Amino acid sequence: MEKATVRDLDVRGKRVLERVDFNVPLDDAGRITDDTRIRASLPTIQYLLDAGAAVILMSHLGRPKGQVNPTYSLRPVAVRLADLLGRPVALAPDAVGPAVAAQAHALQPGQVLLLENLRFHPEEEANDPAFAGQLAALADVYVNDAFGTAHRAHASTTGVARDLPAVAGLLMERELNFLGGALEHPKRPFVAISGGAKVGDKIAVLDRLIELADALLIGGGMANTFFKAQGYSIGDSLVEDDKLDEARRLMARARAGGKRFILPVDVAIGEKFSADAERTLTSPDAVPDGWRILDVGPQTLVAFGDVLAEAQTVMWNGTLGVAEFPAFAQGTQALIALLEERTQVGAITIVGGGDSAAAVAAVGAADKLTHVSTGGGASLEFLEGRELPGVAALRNK
């Protein structure tokens, strides 16, 4: 069901309470190291301001565990957002309370207020109705533009939607359109790429992709479990011994459905899990004892490139190697280059958030692909076909 969006509301002269995802990484000095999520929120905020609304933003940051912790204050976010918007952004002293209510009700059209970290209150994650009511009382309309938190039934994602007219923001709309469109009506051939550390985290996703995609490319640590399921010698590589039967089942299901299920044909290994480990190439069935698989090799990238050469829709989630180690980020970076090439010739390329999105941002390729999701866990649950509480709470068109 298509969801109503900010375009379906008249917000002139109204106070709009908007859930955003400002859970950005900070260094030890409290400086933002990646403002991608803040930038992703700008189109909706600017749309509301241009439409004559006063905008009240709310977000969490980190895991303060229901207690006030200055380390997780949204103050650095308010400063950065003000720079990006080119206008002041006031930071409220709290997320709720009389002082916050007075500040919100005094807000004029064109002004922006950022509430302090929602998770300073345990009632946020508990989806406490009274806490949600206090948030809702700050505004006339509710907009959810935080796809990355839409898989959580929290006060700010579902509770508020019971008390106010609730619609999707432009980023939420974009996420649903691209991810939903790729799954429901993909341009074919549709190639899915799955990486990351563990098969166990993605069994439901893999089952769905085997059903929907024409080919599935596997990389990352999760490939090791498929290797071992076939009897390969993989040294000291990360493996999920309790998922070997699942791995065999998934491969058999792909074969039975006539789907291409492609594993790496060569791998990069190291003697230790470390950034300074020496990178050596071998076949995945001949990893020496004491060594571990940390990336895919160049022959694998050629094989993946051959499959991608015809793809009209590509969906990728999970890095192909230990992307935080430069020596073992080569496979992931080469894949990003392949996706850029496909995008340039008109293919739809979608990155499913999390570590994959971070890898794309690290090489400055976010604007060279069709869509890079801001959701990590939310993207995975959406790909599994599960209903996201934060989306279900919004009005249908």
Paired tokens of 164: 């106010």
Cross-strand bridge partners of residue 166: 142
Q: What is the pLDDT of residues 179-222, one digit of tens each?
A: 888 888 899 999 999 999 888 889 999 999 999 999 999 999 99
CA atoms of 379 and 209, how far apart (whole Å): 13
For 47, 232, 334, 373, 394, the CA distances from 4, given in Å and listed in that order, are: 15, 51, 39, 20, 7
Paired tokens of 160: 């508020």
**Domains of the chain (ranges, CATH numbers):** 6-173 (3.40.50.1260), 186-384 (3.40.50.1260)
Fill in the amino acid letter for 7. Answer: R
Question: Is the pLDDT confidence value at 113 over 80?
Answer: yes
Fill in the amino acid letter for 220. Answer: G
Q: What is the DSSP string of 60-97?
A: --S--TTS--GGG-SHHHHHHHHHHHTS--EE-SSSSS
Residue among 196, 141, 180, 183 nearest 163 (CA): 141
The residue behind tokens 């950005």 is: 24
Question: Is the pLDDT confidence value at 1 over 70?
Answer: no
pTM of structure: 0.89
Residue 183 pLDDT? 85
Which are the contacts of 45, defined by CB distance < 8 A and separation ≥ 6? 18, 20, 55, 57, 85, 112
**Which residues are catalytic, by number?**
37, 198, 354, 377
Question: Is the pLDDT confidence value at 354 over 70?
Answer: yes
Q: What is the pLDDT of residues 218-243, one digit of tens each?
A: 999 999 999 999 999 999 999 999 99
